[in-house]
Structure 1
Amino acid sequence: MRAKIRQRIKIIAKVLLIVAVPTVVSYVISGTNLIPAFSFDTEAIKSYLMATGYRAPLVYIVLQLLTIPLVPVPSVVLATAAGALFGFRAATLYTTIAWIIGTSINFYLTRFLGRPVLKKLLSLEELVMVDKFAGRIGWKLIFFTWFVPGGTADVAAYAAGLTQMTYGQYFSAAFPATVILSILTAAAGAAIYINPIFTTIFTVAAAVGIVLGFKMVLIYKLVTGLVEKIKRNYRTSS
């Protein structure tokens, strides 16, 4: 009986992933020109979001969701623009929500649909990275990949979904990392465009990170070293 219930839940989840999510995305961004939103120009992104009016927070979250599978679309640039438009607190909230939803979709995509679906979404190099990460998955890897550029956190989410890691374990590592990164990007945007006081917040946060995060830096280097090693091995084998 329980097996049948689980099977039905999986079917519902697949329907949501394949049908519902694209439908919502299409509705939110319908009638808009996405080119400015996916540029490296913070002002252009800010102007685009302002033009969407009251839908701006929802449009922003959807745009961030689109950056998850479309690396190297500049999600951090989007987050900085959000800090300029929405202010520090709102931007931190919206960005955290968007990034958690996006990588959670990645997690459940591979959890329910398996590795074959990744062949249609990722490059061969990224597939190799997913497999390597799956063999070393853990709290530290999930947490620190958020601070490695190039969509590494997205790849780690795919990898986590392929392992025995529960979503609760994944969330406990991903959530604090997204909050920290959201705070930094929102503070940067707010400091530049809204209120100089956020320059102080950004500076203090960075200083605290430097003073208290020596061990974190060492682990970060281990993670980035692993990423580079995987890439080198892939290039050598291909």
Structure 2
Amino acid sequence: MITKPQLSGRKVQGIAVLILILIFWLCWTWRHELWSLWCGLLQAFEHRESVRAYILSLGHLAPFAFISLQALQVVISPIPGEATGFIGGFLFGNWAGFFYSTAGLTLGSAIAFFISRQFRRLVRLRLLRSRLYGRFERLVEHQGLFIFYILFLFPGFPKDFLCYLLGLSRMPWLAFLAIVILGRMPGTLVLTLQGANTYDKNIEGFLCVLFLTLLVLIPSLYYRERIYQWVEAHSLKDP
């Protein structure tokens, strides 16, 4: 029986890197055309000045409304957090957008944590519907702060789910808030920068941030199952 040759892990990684470089080169070469297409798809950008001016004309209510929206999407998850993070940079710029997004995400995470603490039985029944609960429920008993921090950093892992899950644990409030703030910061900063770059029509900045994001995102998604297995194995160890 003839077996087909298998690609080694290093070869797969090398091919992935080459594909990534090729994609970046193509995006850079056609950056003006791609940017025109991007702006055309998002019709609001044609009136970005008026949209931003209208939001900011609300004065102190504008940041409050945005922070509330960020908090709400954590508690109820009606809209993806990526969308609201992008909007923050688009409306308020780099640092103000980053600050407001962080404040909203922290507030929403704290509310989810509080709800889980107060209504443990109902929250547990709700989480049982998720496949992830069966894999990570033992994390509730083992307070490995570093593992929780890794999960918050990990792209694609549902942070809102994690907030409710940790509410079932004995984790102290201060430890939870520290992990939430530090773990969410990198992703929040990237989304804010992309929103601000889009508003400023900074094509080069947008592509550079996108390229750096893909350098982290692609390997993370590729090794996602291994990371999950490592976390599971860690959670099975005695504290």
CA contact (8 A) 1:144 1:220 kept: no
Counterparts of residues 22-171 of structure 1 (less than 5 Å): 43=44, 47=51, 50-51=54-55, 53-54=58-59, 55-71=61-77, 73-119=79-125, 123-125=129-131, 128=134, 131-148=137-154, 152-171=158-177
Question: How far apart are 1:125 and its partner, in Å?
Answer: 4.0
1:194 has 2:200 as partner: yes
**Separation of aligned partners in 1, 2:43 and 2:176:** 31
Deviations 1:40-69 (A, max 9, x none): 96948x849945722221111111122113
- Which structure: larger Rg? 2
Question: What is the TM-score normalised by the length of structure 2?
Answer: 0.59
Whole-angstrom CA distance in 2 between matches of 1:103 and 1:123: 20
Q: Which runs of 5+ in 2 are unaligned?
A: 1-40, 233-239
TM-score (norm. length: structure 1) = 0.59
Q: Are residues 75 and 217 of structure 1, via their aligned partners in 2, closer, same or farther at CA, if it must alter by over 3 Å?
A: closer
Q: Say which structure, 1 or 2, has more relative contact order (CA 8 Å, 6+ apart).
A: 2
Q: Separation in 2 of the partners of 1:139 and 1:220?
A: 19
Asked if the contact 1:83/1:190 (under 8 Å) is kept, the reply is yes
Distance 1:176 1:195, change over 3 A: farther
Q: Choose 184-193 or 195-204, whichever is displaced more.
A: 195-204
Provide the C-alpha distance between the structure 2 equivalents of 1:155 and 1:48, rounded to a whole number of angstroms: 32
C-alpha deviation, 1:164, in angstroms: 1.8
Q: Residues 198 and 127 from structure 1, CA distance in 2 versus in 1: closer, same or farther, beyond 3 angstroms?
A: same
Report the CA distance between 1:130 and its aligned residue.
6.3
1:195-214 to structure 2, matched below 5 A, reads: 196=202, 199=205, 203=209, 206=212
- Residue 167 of structure 2 aligns with an amino acid whose one-letter code is G
Q: Separation in 1 of the partners of 2:199 and 2:152?
A: 25
The count of corresponding residues between Structure 1 and Structure 2 is: 184
| Cα deviation digits, residues 131-189 of structure 1 (max 9, x gap) | 34424552233223334466621222112221121112222222112222221111111
Q: Structure 1 unaligned runs (5+)?
A: 1-39, 229-238
Check whether the contact 1:71–1:151 (CA below 8 A) recurs between aligned residues. no
Against the structure 1 CA distance between its residues 169 and 202, is the aligned structure 2 distance closer, same or farther, given a 3 Å change threshold?
A: farther
RMSD: 4.2
> What's the % identity of the aligned pairs?
20
Pair 178,124 (structure 1): closer, same or farther in 2 beyond 3 Å: closer
